[in-house]
């Protein structure tokens, strides 16, 4: 069977391939293009490689080409140029094998409002060749996993947005796919539901599933993905781990506000720890490449010099900064509030 790639494990949040043999990528695209009627280049040449067991995020605004890419990789749309392989199978030449290896949860949570949750998962099981008994057992297990047991026999039309997303995810897992495609899995969800989906994705990945997700939420890409591909106008404009992408455009910096002035003295002191930046609103700014671990020595030094710190803030470069750097415009005007306390 083609596509037997190496497994992967997450070690302290960093992805490491296990096997020493050259692994077949879970997803590989070369020059992938899709042009629609009217000359619309939705995807204008995408090259990417996602390793087995990785979580890869496509980050980009509406209309960037994310969904079109996903549709081509999941055999729902034929590329107009280029090629792609998923789980070792060509999406155009051998779509049947691709479909057997993938699970898909699409953007619009394509669920039939008149079916119950249980009926939907059972149908999905039948579509994937599971027998009646196996389908029943699978439905029970998955409904339990996504915490929909109580709502299982209610029609999907009565579900909340979060419940529909969980059901969509569960139905994508019926056949234990090697590669899971999630198209904007948390768009429109409240913070709690979003977190639940994230936890589930991380757990699935921990079990060995490769995850390819598209998102327009910076925090989602930052938190979940091993690697992020920034896509704009149908092309990948940057691709790397979130950390390295942010490091490319700068380091974290510390903003220190003092209680009783002493700005000049403070600037002399912070110079010892990193590259000073122009002060802003009465605060002293200094770059700290090491991030949070370098904050304490700075505060100690200021304290020893008799300067009282009123407030301090460690500002990390964001993926939006990366996006602006690469594309010249912001990803999204408003970020969802996750309620997380920094």
Partner 1 sequence: MTVKDLRVVAALGARSVKQTFRRPQLFAPIIVFPSILLAIQTAGAGRAIDLEGFPPVDSFLDFMLAGAMIQSTMLAGNSGGIALAVDIEMGFTDRLLAAPISRFAMVLGRLAGTAALSALAAVWFIAVGLIFGAHIQEGVPGALLMIFFVVLSGVAFGGVGAAVALRTGRASVVQGLFPLVFVILFLSSAFFPDNLMLEPAATVAEYNPLSFIVEAIRDPVISSISWDVFWKAIGSLALVGGLSIWWSALALRRRLRTGG
Instruction: Using CB under 8 A, list all residues that contact partner 1.
Output: 37, 71, 74-78, 96, 99-100, 102, 104, 106, 108, 110-112, 114-115, 119, 123-124, 126-129, 155, 171
> In whole angstroms, how close is the CB of 100 to partner 1 at the nearest point?
5
Element (H, E) at 215: strand 210-215
DSSP 149: T
What Å distances lie between residue 115 and 23, 74, 111, 182, 193, CA to CA? 41, 24, 8, 22, 22
Q: Tell me how far apart the terminal alpha carbons of the chain are, to the nearest angstrom.
A: 47
Compute the least distance from the CB of residue 2 to partner 1, in Å. Answer: 15
Helix (H) or strand (E) holding 325: helix 319-327
| Residue among 164 and 246 whose Cβ is closer to partner 1 | 164
Residue 57 CB neighbour total at 10 angstroms: 26
Q: How many CA atoms lie within 13 A of 55 on its CB side?
A: 26
The residue among 70 and 319 lying less far from partner 1, judged by its C-beta, is: 70
Q: Which is nearer to partner 1, 10 or 100 (CB)?
A: 100
Shortest distance in whole angstroms from residue 49 CB to partner 1:
22
**Least distance from partner 1 to the Cβ atom of residue 112, Å:** 6
Q: How far is the CB of 310 from partner 1 (least distance, A)?
A: 53
Residue (43 or 221) nearer to partner 1, CB: 43
Task: Please report how close the Cβ of residue 75 comes to partner 1 at its closest, in angstroms.
Answer: 7
The separation between CA 293 and the C-alpha centre of its own chain, rounded to angstroms, equals: 26
Using the minimum distance from each CB to partner 1, give the nearer residue, 73 or 224. 73
Contact (Cβ atoms closer than 8 angstroms) between residue 232 and residue 220: no
Minimum distance, C-beta of residue 62 to partner 1, in the bound complex (Å): 17
CB-wise, 111 or 173, nearer to partner 1? 111
> Of the two residues 187 and 327, which places its CB atom closer to partner 1 in the complex?
187
3-state secondary structure of 72: helix
- Which of helix, strand or coil describes residue 217? coil
Task: Please name every residue paired with 256 in a beta bridge, in sequence order, or none if there are none.
Answer: 284, 312
Nearer to partner 1, 126 or 279 (CB): 126
**Least distance from C-beta 103 to partner 1, angstroms?**
9
Provide CB contacts within 8 A for 256, sequence distance 6+.
Answer: 266, 270, 283, 284, 285, 286, 298, 299, 302, 309, 311, 312
Q: By C-beta, is 78 or 244 nearer to partner 1?
A: 78
Q: Please, which residues have CB within 8 angstroms of residue 64's CB and are 6 or more apart in sequence?
A: 231, 232, 233, 234
Strand partners, 43: 34
CB of 48 to partner 1, least distance (A): 20
Q: Quick one: 48 exposed, middle or buried, by C-beta within 10 A (0-12, 13-18, 19+)?
A: buried
């Amino acid at each position: 069977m083609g596509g037997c790639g190496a497994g992967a494990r997450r070690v302290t949040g960093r992805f490491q391939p296990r096997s020493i043999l050259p692994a077949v990528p879970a997803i590989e695209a070369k020059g992938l293009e899709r042009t629609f009627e009217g000359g619309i280049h939705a995807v204008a040449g995408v090259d990417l490689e996602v390793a087995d067991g990785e979580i890869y995020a496509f980050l980009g605004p509406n209309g960037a080409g994310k969904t079109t890419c996903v549709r081509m990789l999941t055999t729902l749309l034929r590329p107009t140029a280029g090629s792609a392989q998923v789980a070792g199978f060509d999406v155009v030449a051998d779509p049947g094998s691709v479909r057997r290896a993938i699970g898909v949860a699409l953007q619009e949570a394509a669920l039939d409002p008149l079916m119950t949750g249980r009926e939907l998962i059972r149908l999905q099981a039948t579509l994937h060749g599971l027998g009646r008994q196996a389908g029943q057992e699978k439905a029970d297990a998955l409904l339990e996993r996504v915490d929909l047991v109580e709502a299982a026999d209610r029609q999907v039309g009565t579900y909340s947005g979060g419940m529909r997303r969980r059901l969509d995810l569960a139905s994508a897992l019926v056949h234990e796919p090697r590669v899971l495609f999630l198209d904007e899995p948390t768009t429109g969800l409240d913070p709690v539901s979003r977190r639940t989906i994230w936890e589930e994705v991380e757990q699935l990945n921990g079990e060995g599933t490769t995850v390819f997700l598209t998102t327009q939420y910076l925090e989602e890409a930052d938190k979940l993905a091993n690697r992020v591909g920034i896509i704009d106008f149908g092309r990948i404009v940057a691709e790397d781990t979130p950390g390295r992408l942010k490091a490319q455009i700068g380091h974290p910096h510390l903003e220190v506000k003092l209680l009783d002035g002493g700005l000049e003295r403070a600037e002399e002191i912070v110079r010892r720890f990193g590259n000073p930046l122009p002060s802003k609103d009465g605060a002293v700014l200094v770059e700290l490449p090491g991030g949070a671990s370098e904050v304490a020595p700075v505060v100690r030094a200021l304290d020893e010099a008799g300067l009282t710190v009123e407030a301090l803030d460690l500002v990390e470069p964001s993926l939006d900064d990366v996006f602006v750097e690469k594309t010249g415009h912001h990803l999204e005007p408003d970020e969802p509030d996750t309620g997380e306390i920094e």
